[in-house]
Amino acid sequence: MVRADFGKVIMVSTLPSLETHHRAVRLWLYAVAALIVVTLLVGGATRLTESGLSITEWKPLAGALPPLGDAAWQAAFEKYQTIPQFQLNRGMTLPEFKTIFWWEWAHRMLGRLIGAAFLLPFIAFLMKGWIEPGLRARLWAIFSLGALQGAIGWWMVASGLSERVSVSQYRLATHLTLACGIYAACLWVARRLAGEGGETPRRLRVSALALLALVFVQIYLGALVAGLHAGLIYNTWPLIDGAFVPDAAHLLFEQPWWRNLFENTLTVQFMHRTVAYALWLFAILHTVDVARTLRGGPVLTGALALASAVTIQAALGILTLIHQVPVALALAHQAVAIVVLTLAAVHAERLAGRRAEQPIGAPVTAA
């Protein structure tokens, strides 16, 4: 229905339907994001319990079923016994194998569930015409990254099945960082559909995006630390290897030099610490800048929440290191990392200024 009012043309019937459609899409993306959080936490537990190599095959469909019956369990256990990691667990019993198997199986099932939870509603929304072209392209991009994530997951597992007793730290870091990127993308797209917010100084927008980028760098470095088991050594703070800044000969002894950034346990842990200091200081300075510029409002609240979460995360990281990575503390450290990522993504999106998607036929104002 079209109504003319003093030179303005308003498509009245479009307004409520557009808002309703966007609300449905937002809720769907938030639900997918929540599933990703659960998967990240289960993935962390899978890594900490050394369960990731318990399933030695990649069967996207048939693998959804766990072993059924004693013979099937024994066959799965015998496959695990053929990989190098089992040499470290030669005394493992079948019940103990079942424990690590269920962690990995749950992690893979959650990945399948996320794929279905994204694709099926997405197709339904497309068929109903609820998703406009610009939004459609972004959502297809997120789905494509999710499909790639499944392949990277197996690529990671495959690295520990023949020559290594654990997965490659390069592949683990890629797997975790991409999962976090997909999560942040879901949050970002969902929030931009709200169509709220206003202009903020460019300086604050850039620094908020830089904070988000630094969080991703820290997540990548944390995955390298986990993959190298670097948290089990140099368990002192604030000194590392007897100094605040270790000797260059210890930091850069690998050749070529760049391998130290990914394979030298001392260098990787030192980088993780250094970026943590930088992230904490940057978050504090950004909060002070927001407080002096805007003097209140949701942007300042978001900056304060982010700085507080980064502070808690740093403290948890120190405790986890000093106590040599107990499972409970390590999981708490990973959980708060997700909180930090969430707050950083929401804060950056809020400062970026939201623009609701406007499909063809949306309300038009004529002078």
Q: Give dist(CA 191, CA 350) in Å, integer.
A: 8
Q: Judge if pTM exceeds 0.95.
A: no
Task: Give residue-wise pLDDT tens across range 327-342.
Answer: 999 999 999 999 999 9
> Could you tell me what percent of the chain has a pLDDT over 70?
90
Residues in CB range of 87: below 8 A, 6 or more apart: 165
Letter for the amino acid at 165?
Answer: V
Q: Of 11-25, 220-234, 280-294, 307-321, where does mean pLDDT reach its minimum?
A: 11-25
Give me the chain's average pLDDT, please: 89
Task: Give residue-wise pLDDT tens across range 36-94.
Answer: 999 999 999 999 988 999 999 888 877 788 999 999 999 999 999 999 998 888 889 99
Q: Give dist(CA 58, CA 158) in Å, integer.
A: 9
Q: Give dist(CA 356, CA 84) in Å, integer.
A: 53
For residue 197, what pLDDT band results from cuts at 50, 70 and 90?
low
Beta-strand ranges (E) seen in the chain are 2-5, 8-11
Q: Give dist(CA 306, CA 365) in Å, integer.
A: 39
Letter for the amino acid at 287?
Answer: T
Per-residue confidence (pLDDT) for residue 196, from 0 to 100: 62
Q: Give dist(CA 348, CA 91) in Å, integer.
A: 50
DSSP 41-104: HHHHHHHHTT-TTS-----TTGGGSPP-SHHHHHHHHHHHTTSGGGGGGTT--HHHHHHHHHHH
Per-domain residue ranges of the chain: 1-194, 198-367
Question: Which residues make beta-bridge pairs with 11?
Answer: 2
